[in-house]
């Protein structure tokens, strides 16, 4: 009888182990959740020793994003970034590098984790906690923590170490909803008094 119970227990344990996800598999599922072809929108708050604090909404569609916060508004169409600062009615136009985008867009980790990082993971009752450590010394983000909801695979928090300063994004109310491509480009007619500074 004891041998039968032992055998059944081992089979159950092996079955559970086969269903356990790796950190990369969890991040793959998370990336799929926020990579809806029609776009996704969420609310976020940011705490940063380097960039200050901000809160607002972000919309993502592929490589494009639109971010509206209490401090700035950003439009990125996949190539060009427009940054509007309401305090001085100024719009900066630039072509950011991939590493610059990693610190601007909290969802850029969708591709970041796929190369140049080692990953470990712990689990809690309702979330996966994934730790990324840069294996490439050239990478701007040296370390990151990503908290992923177990039931939806939506990101709940992203914490990134850039240099020796941490930036933390908290994400909520993620929705798959159509986002028009026009939302990712700056409309100069909507800001007639803004000074345009082209840094490209």
Judge whether residue 2 has pLDDT over 80: no
**Taking the mean position of all CA atoms in its chain, how far away is CA 8?**
42
Residue 1's pLDDT band (cuts 50, 70, 90): low
User: Against a cut of 0.75, is the pTM above it?
Assistant: yes
Measured torsion, CA atoms of residues 94, 96, 100, 101, in degrees rounded to the nearest 10: 110
- Which string of b and e fits 109-146 if b means at least 16 CB within 10 Å? bbebbeeebebebeeeeebbbbbbebeeeebbbbebeb
Cα angle 157, 29, 16; round to 5: 105
Q: What percent of the chain shows pLDDT beyond 70?
A: 86
Cα angle 186, 76, 184; round to 5: 55
């Amino acid at each position: 009888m004891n041998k039968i119970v032992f055998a059944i227990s081992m089979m159950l344990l092996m079955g559970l182990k086969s269903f356990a996800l790796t950190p990369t598999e969890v991040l793959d599922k998370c990336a799929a959740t926020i990579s809806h072809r029609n776009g996704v929108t969420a609310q976020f708050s940011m705490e940063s020793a380097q960039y200050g604090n901000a809160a607002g909404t972000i919309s993502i569609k592929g490589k494009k994003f639109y971010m509206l916060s209490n401090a700035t508004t950003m439009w990125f169409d996949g190539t060009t970034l427009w940054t509007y600062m309401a305090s001085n009615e100024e719009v900066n136009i630039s072509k950011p590098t991939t590493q610059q985008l990693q610190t601007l867009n909290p969802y850029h980790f969708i591709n970041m984790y796929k190369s140049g990082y080692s990953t470990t993971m712990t689990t809690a009752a309702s979330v996966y906690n994934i730790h990324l450590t840069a294996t490439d010394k050239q990478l701007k983000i040296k370390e990151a923590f990503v908290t992923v909801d177990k039931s939806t695979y939506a990101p709940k928090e992203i914490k990134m170490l850039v240099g020796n300063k941490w930036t933390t994004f908290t994400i909520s109310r993620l929705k798959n909803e159509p986002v028009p491509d026009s939302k990712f480009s700056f409309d100069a007619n909507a800001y007639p008094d803004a000074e345009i500074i082209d840094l490209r």
